Every structure is written in structure tokens, then in C-alpha cells.
Amino acid sequence: MVAITQQPQKMTVEEYLEWEPQQDIRYEYVNGKVFAMTGGTIPHNDIALNFYTALRPHLRSRGCRVNVSDVKVQLSLRDQYYYPDIVVSCDPIDLNARKFIQFPKLIAEVLSPATSPKDRGEKFTDYLKIPTLQEYILIDSEKISVERYSRGEGRMWLYYPYTAGDIITLSSIEFEFPIELLYEDVAFVTEE
């Protein structure tokens, strides 16, 4: 989630990379501006951890890494740094990274009503420009629904929606799993 807090108005990439580790909370960086990140809901956290738990054993045997929310991704132009909910990289440079991931293969965002517009808009547009990105996953935190965008030929991205009962296929990392695995032990709000 993005929150408005008192923060510096403008800073360079170098200033951001030096300043941000000294802060008590995480900040995303976009074109010279910083945006404070706040905590999400328990369902948001549970979904991200369920996804991480499913991916980790599969990726370790393939020489890849998966990280959850506290690891930032540097976009190719070096003027943007985001904290996705899940990021997967198989690039040798990223396997030993200490500050940020540069060559993600897969990025996932868990949607909430507050973050959905940014995850579907600005972040979506920015992530799709990453040359190494093969899949972008949007996971709804309020109902069983997942959207997968997979890189096709040229600039084309293919769209795959999933709902209850579906098997999700992540072609970039050769992994399949039932959608319900993401929502294990997640409590949804029920309308009365």
C-alpha cells in the first residue's frame, strides 16, 4: 500500500539509495519522488506468503530466487524502484544481490482496493518495460481471482484470467498449481 507521509520532495537516485535504508519504513522511488509504503491486510500478507511458500522449493532446485515484499526491484532506467509483493529472478547477478533485484523474470502484486489502481496502471506500465520480465501476476485479496500477463512475440502480452477451481500455469518458471493454494487459510469479508 502507498501512504502519504512527510518525506523529502525530490531526490536523486544516489540520494534515495543512501537515505532509504536509514528509514523506519520502506519507500518506492519514481522519477525523483519517494512514496512511503505502509503495511497491508492480513489476507494480503497470507496470500503473498502462500505464493512464496509454493514457489521457493521449486525455484531453489532451478537456481532461482524468490523474494517477498521487502526487496526492491530496480527498473532498467534506474529512475524507478518498486517493492513488488513477490519477485522471482534467475539471473546470476541477482542471485548474489544485496540491495535490489535488477533482472526479474516474474513479478506478482497482491491487489487491495487501495493499491489496485496503481498496480494495474503505473506499475503495470513500468513493469512491462523490463526486458527480462516474462510474467506479471495480479492476485485479488478480496475474492478468488488471479490475472496473469505473459510476454508474447515482440511487444505483445498475453492475458490469462483464473478463478476458483483453475490450475495456474507459470510458463516462465515451468510451474503449475491450483489457485486455491494462494488462498489457503485466507478469510474473506462476507456481506450480511
pLDDT in tens, the chain (192 residues): 444 445 556 888 888 888 888 888 888 888 888 888 876 788 999 999 999 999 999 998 899 999 998 899 999 667 889 999 999 999 999 999 999 999 999 999 999 888 888 899 999 999 998 999 999 999 999 999 999 999 999 889 999 999 999 999 999 999 999 999 999 999 887 655
Q: Output the pLDDT for position 137.
A: 98
Q: Output the pLDDT for position 40.
A: 76
* Selection from 115, 114, 182 nearest residue 148 by Cα: 182
- CATH code for the domain in which residue 56 is found: 3.90.1570.10
Q: Is residue 128 part of a domain?
A: yes
pTM of the prediction?
0.88
Q: Is residue 169 part of a domain?
A: yes
Q: Is residue 7 part of a domain?
A: no
Q: Is residue 13 part of a domain?
A: no
Residues 179, 163: contact at Cβ < 8 Å? yes
Angle at 9 between CA 4 and CA 11, to 5 degrees: 120
Q: Output the pLDDT for position 2.
A: 44
Which residue stretches of 83-191 are H helix?
92-95, 116-120, 122-127
How many domains is the chain partitioned into structurally? Answer: 1
Other CB atoms within 10 Å distance of the CB of residue 110: 27
Q: Is residue 8 part of a domain?
A: no
Q: Is residue 53 part of a domain?
A: yes
The parent domain of residue 56 ranges over 40-183
Q: Is residue 75 part of a domain?
A: yes
Q: Is residue 178 part of a domain?
A: yes
* Selection from 33, 39, 36, 102 nearest residue 69 by Cα: 39
